[in-house]
Amino acid sequence: MIIEIEKWHGAKNDFIVTWILATDRDMLVPTLERLTQKLCNRDGSGMGADGILVLVAKTSKSPHPEELVIINSDGSQAKNCGNGLRCAAMSARKRALREGISDFDGVTLTVQGVAIDCRFLGKEGSPFVAVTMQVPTINTANDWHHEIQDAVALHQKANSKLAGDVETISLGNPHVVITVNEATADLASILGPPLQKCRGGDGINVHVTSALEITEKDRQRARREIGEEIGELYRVFPWERGVGATQACGTGACAVGATILATGLGERSLWVAIDMPGGRLYVKQAGQDDLITLAGPALFVFTAALDI
Tell me the pTM: 0.91
Q: How confident is the model at residue 127 (pLDDT cuts 50, 70, 90)?
A: confident
CA separation for the pair 242, 50 (Å, rounded): 9
Q: What is the mean pLDDT of residues 250-266?
A: 95
Residue limits of CATH 3.10.310.10 in the chain: 2-132+298-307, 137-291
Enumerate the H helices of 112-249 as residue ranges. Answer: 145-158, 185-195, 216-225
pLDDT of residue 124: 61
pLDDT tens digits, one per residue of 48-66? 999 999 999 999 999 999 9
Q: What is the mean pLDDT of residues 25-51?
A: 96
Q: How confident is the model at residue 123 (pLDDT cuts 50, 70, 90)?
A: low
Assigned superfamily of 2-132+298-307: Diaminopimelate Epimerase; Chain A, domain 1 (3.10.310.10)
List Cβ neighbours of 217 (8 Å cut-off, separation of 6 or more).
Answer: none
List Cβ neighbours of 145 (8 Å cut-off, separation of 6 or more).
Answer: 139, 168
The CATH fold assigned to 137-291 is: Diaminopimelate Epimerase; Chain A, domain 1 (3.10.310)
Contact indicator for 191, 215 with CB cutoff of 8 Å: no
